[in-house]
Amino acid sequence: MPPRRALLPALVLLGFLLTACRKHESAALSATAALPPRDAYIGSAACRDCHAKKYEHWTQDWHARALSRATANYVAGRFDAAHFQGPSSEAWMDRRGGEYVMRTRDREGQLADYPVSWVIGGKRMQDSVTVFGDGRWQVLPVYYHVTGGGAWVDYNEAKQGVVAPDHPYFWMNFRRTANKECLDCHATGVDVHYDRPSKRWSTSFVDAGVACESCHGPGALHAKTKLARDIVHPGEVNADVELAICGQCHGPREPLFPMLDTKQRFRPGQRYDDRYQALVVVDGRERSGEYFADGRPSSSSFEYQALLQSRCHLIGGATCLTCHTAPHDRHVANEIAGDANASCRKCHANVVAQGAAHTHHASPQATCVACHMPPVVSGVLDKFADHTIDVPNATNTLKHNIPNACGVCHADRPATTIAIDLTRWWPDAARRQQRRAQLADAIDEKTSAQSLPALTAVVRDTHEAPTLRGALALLLAQRFPHDAASILTPLLPDRDALVRSRFIEALGYADARSSADALARFLNDPSLQVRQNAALALASMHDGRGERALSQLASDPTTHDLFRPHVMLSINAANRGDYDTATREIDTALALAPYVPDALVFRADLDARRGNLDAAREELREALRFNPSHRGALSRLKAAGWQ
């Protein structure tokens, strides 16, 4: 095993980055308020007693079928001796004795039959899930694409490229374990546990699918009192709280508390930023592959991130319910109340009234949605509406290869011609386009070497979306660490907690020790996200104030279940040679999030240094169960001759 000093300095940074996975209202809701007891969930059947009509409407909506038993009523795929073969996978889909079966290859390349126990979705795509003997719910490799006439596709390959058995997204690997990766959004009242000694998973939930309590909160008290105040009404709460109800699933995010921590899981009525940080542009030190170079989501299921960037939200206060209905209300496709353009008229009636004088198109297809929410967001075989609701920008197409709305209908016209027409028909277009042009100059990796002025302008722009300002602060710190302190430190006292949190995180990336005193002022911030990031950043700089703050977070009952403070405390203790404290803290972290390979490898190093080689070997193998390509675990096993 490597000597202590060869490993731990790198892990100091890792400790700051490790995650448990991916607008304010009244202070009446605490940032650390825990969920009600599990028995506070009563299930949708109990709601039916008083809300029969709404219940019936909900059963007809796709939210109700987000997760279903694999029965004839719910399976959309053609299990009729169908065959699929691609570069990454091969599968045969059939029915045997009334059971749906997918035959495919395991990690060693051996063919086997896997019964389909559950299906996820079915509106556009449907995933098949098999349940292993150890309790893992694994998403099988080939999905059924319902729209477009139906087809079997390898979704992972479409998103990730060729997926070999050692790839994290190979179907048998942990990133495709539905208990951890999928059920939080596809079932209601989820309770998932992993027992490390037996290496077994246990899973339960109150309702399969997105049921009543996913949006209205646990209903036991309301069922007892029948009082409106004892249930959450999404259309009657603060706009940020309303957005959080949809955003909890309609956009990838990093949870503040570990995913398996049932008592700390988000519940309707809480603020999004008190439980999550939305995944925007960057993912740790890596660029997310789910965004265009101007910061707009390029993949489906990022509606929350997109809407928060829109001027409709930033200036007009638009939320999901501005255009969409509840799943139990009458609606047309995609939970839209009626005419998809009706919401635009509420704020832009004068523009809509201009008709062709504004659109410069005689075609009835030239609608508000067609031009400002074009279908440029990719699924697999589908394209979806862009929820950033912006103006067409052909200049960004030319410079940054970003699609524009005009190109959807006029694919035969070069972007140079479209750019000229946009300027001629809409003289104000250049001013409106400048925002996305600046974002693209800041974000695009092709122009990263010259991106400092654009990055600086965005993070200083208090009118820009907090999610984008925060993400670009991370890019700034990663690309230009020596400039980060002078640019970001004066901006730390921002009124938005997300901005404060991300700016502090960025200064941690940059190891901006000159900003330590400024960071220390946020150790008592009202936001738990901000307090934690300030403590982690200071501790990564070996500032004693950070470690004391982490110890307080780790010992306080309301914050004890945070994962990262325990990891950082363990790393710092090991650096001091205090292996007892290091072991105790990393074991606490692993009890909270047993699926984090970096923490398991660190635990193995601690055991090896104390001579517990059998335990170290087993922990390294456990790390590979969660990530078969983890370089740290593989290199240690090889160096020790344990492969």
Dihedral angle over CA of 151, 156, 159, 163, nearest 10: -130
Q: Residue 342: its pLDDT value, please? A: 86
Nearest to 16 by CA among 536, 511, 510, 513: 536
Give the model confidence (pLDDT) of 45-59 as tens digits. 999 999 999 999 999
pLDDT band with cut points at 50, 70 and 90 for residue 330: confident
Give the model confidence (pLDDT) of 250-264 as tens digits. 999 999 999 888 888
Give the model confidence (pLDDT) of 205-231 as tens digits. 999 999 999 999 999 999 999 999 999
424, 440 in Cβ contact below 8 A? no
Give the model confidence (pLDDT) of 383-401 as tens digits. 999 999 999 999 999 999 9
Q: Can you tell me the distance from the alpha carbon of 166 to that of 628, in angstroms, rounded to the nearest whole number?
A: 5
More confident residue, 20 or 392: 392
Q: What secondary structure does DSSP assign to 178-214, as a single string? A: HHHHTHHHHEES-EEEEETTTTEEEEE-SEESS-HHH
Dihedral angle over CA of 68, 73, 75, 79, nearest 10: 150
Give the model confidence (pLDDT) of 440-482 as tens digits. 999 999 999 999 999 999 999 999 999 999 999 999 999 999 9
Q: Residue 609: its pLDDT value, please? A: 93
What is the average pLDDT score of the chain? 91
Q: Residue 328: its pLDDT value, please? A: 94
- Is pLDDT of 112 > 60? yes
**259 phi and psi angles, rounded to 5 deg:** -60, -30
Domain boundaries for CATH 1.25.40.10 within the chain: 4-21+456-640
Count CB-CB contacts under 10 A for residue 161: 13
SS (H, E, C) 239-301: HHHHHHHHHCCCCCEEECCCCCCHHHCCCECECHHHCEEECECEECCEECCCECCCCCECECC
Q: Residue 464: its pLDDT value, please? A: 98
Give the model confidence (pLDDT) of 488-514 as tens digits. 999 999 999 999 999 999 999 999 999
Give the model confidence (pLDDT) of 138-169 as tens digits. 999 999 999 878 999 998 888 889 999 999 89
Q: Residue 340: its pLDDT value, please? A: 81
Q: Residue 39: its pLDDT value, please? A: 63
Give the model confidence (pLDDT) of 547-594 as tens digits. 999 999 999 999 999 999 999 999 999 999 999 999 999 999 999 999
- Is pLDDT of 37 > 90? no
Average pLDDT rounded to a whole number, residues 355-379: 92
Q: Is CATH 1.25.40.10 correct for 4-21+456-640? A: yes
Average pLDDT rounded to a whole number, residues 401-429: 93
Q: Residue 38: its pLDDT value, please? A: 52
CA atoms within 13 A on the CB side of 536: 33
Nearest to 387 by CA among 406, 373, 408, 368: 373
Q: Can you tell me the distance from the alpha carbon of 367 to that of 437, in angstroms, rounded to the nearest whole number?
A: 24
Nearest to 182 by CA among 210, 212, 219: 210
- Is pLDDT of 337 > 90? no
Q: Residue 260: its pLDDT value, please? A: 87
